[in-house]
Structures are given as C-alpha cells and as structure tokens.
C-alpha cells in the first residue's frame, strides 16, 4: 500500500450548528448526547478510501460569528474546510457566507477545498429556515461541494469527511494541471 496521506481540515460555523456532533460521529461513530460547547479539539482518524490510506486530522472549533477573525492556525497547514450551518437557523447560513469571505481574504481564492454542510435535516420541516436550493446555490458560487445531513445519521455524517478528502484531491489536481 502507498504511504499514508496526511490531511488536516477545519470545521467552521456558527456555534451550536452541530460541528462537534458531526466530528464525533465520524471519529467515534456515535451521536453525543450531552452538549458541551467545544473550546477547540483536534480529532484524528485513519481510514482507507479507494486505494489510499488517509490520516485525517479534524480541528473542531468553538464556532464563529461575523466578528470572528480566523487565527493563523486555521489558515496555514490546512488542506480543506468543512463549513457547517443548521438548516433550521438562517443566521448560521448568513455566518457561513461571512466565513467564506474571511477565508478568501486570508488565504486567497485558489486551492480552497470546501464542503458546505447544511446540518439538522432530521428536525421537522416547519423548523427549516434555509432551503436546500439556497445551500446548493451558495456552494456553487464558491465552487465547493454541498451536502445536507443530520448528525444523527452516521453514514451521512461520515460522507462529509470522505467528500472533503475527495475535494482536496480534486482541487489540488486542478491546480497542478494549470
């Protein structure tokens, strides 16, 4: 087998949108019952995707709002971003756009693999404040991948992390082809 590929991604988004729940579903395969606001945690998991073995570090942040300045540690040495909002919170969707602009400012537009994630799709439909089409449209405008998920669904949650690995590969390949 080829050498293990190391990748580091950061989870960004408004507080309480489900960043930790998604990360824990991926790392531990469980939906956490107790809500503990995260200060900052990095989780690591090794897994096989296609013919490659990856070691993925996931930096789970405390959450941001429109005044958050992303620290350098979230910019340098980071391969990709998982930007999360809750489909039941329009404000968190707005913050996702704000975060994208901060990222572009700090990192530049190229080589920015992103998966935009609308979480909490299990909530009743009357709670929904952000339509699927709006999420898809925003992700398209970034040239990013888009997924709607529920952190209660282990399979869907895991797909986010395989998606970001694929996006990192896709963006890096398109960059080296230029």
Residues 77, 156, 101, CA angle at the centre, nearest 5°? 40
Binding ligand GDP (rule: CB under 6 A), the pick from 5, 91, 128, 152 is 152
Nearer to ligand GDP, 18 or 113 (CB): 18
Tell me the Cα Rg of the chain.
Answer: 15
Report which residue's Cβ sits closest to ligand GDP. 18
Q: Does 120 bind ligand GDP (CB under 6 A)?
A: yes
Q: Does 158 bind ligand GDP (CB under 6 A)?
A: no
Residue 89 phi, psi (nearest 5): -145, 100
One symbol per residue from 47 to 86: x for binding ligand GDP (CB under 6 A), - otherwise; what is it? Answer: ----------------x-----------------------
CA neighbor of 94 nearest in space, from 79, 108, 83: 83
Nearer to ligand GDP, 23 or 78 (CB): 23
* Sequence-ordered list of residues with C-beta below 8 angstroms from that of 49, at least 6 positions apart, any chain: 162, 165, 166
Q: Residue 142, SS3?
A: helix
Residues that bind ligand GDP (CB under 6 A): 13, 15-21, 35, 37-38, 63, 119-120, 122-123, 150-152
């Amino acid at each position: 087998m080829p050498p293990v590929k190391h990748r580091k991604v950061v989870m960004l988004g408004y507080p309480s949108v489900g960043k930790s729940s998604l990360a824990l579903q991926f790392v531990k395969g469980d939906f956490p019952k107790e809500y503990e606001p995260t200060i900052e945690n990095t989780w690591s998991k090794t897994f096989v995707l296609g013919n490659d073995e990856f070691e993925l570090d996931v930096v789970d942040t405390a959450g941001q709002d429109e005044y958050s300045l992303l620290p350098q540690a979230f910019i340098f040495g980071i391969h990709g971003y998982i930007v999360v909002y809750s489909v039941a919170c329009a404000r968190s969707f707005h913050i996702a756009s704000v975060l994208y602009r901060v990222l572009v400012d700090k990192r530049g537009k190229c080589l920015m693999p992103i998966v935009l994630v609308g979480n909490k799709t299990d909530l009743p439909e009357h709670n929904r404040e952000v339509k699927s089409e709006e999420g898809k449209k925003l992700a398209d405008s970034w040239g990013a991948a888009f997924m709607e998920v529920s952190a209660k669904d282990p399979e869907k949650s895991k797909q986010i992390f395989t998606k970001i690995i694929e996006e990192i590969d896709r963006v890096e390949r398109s960059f080296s082809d230029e």
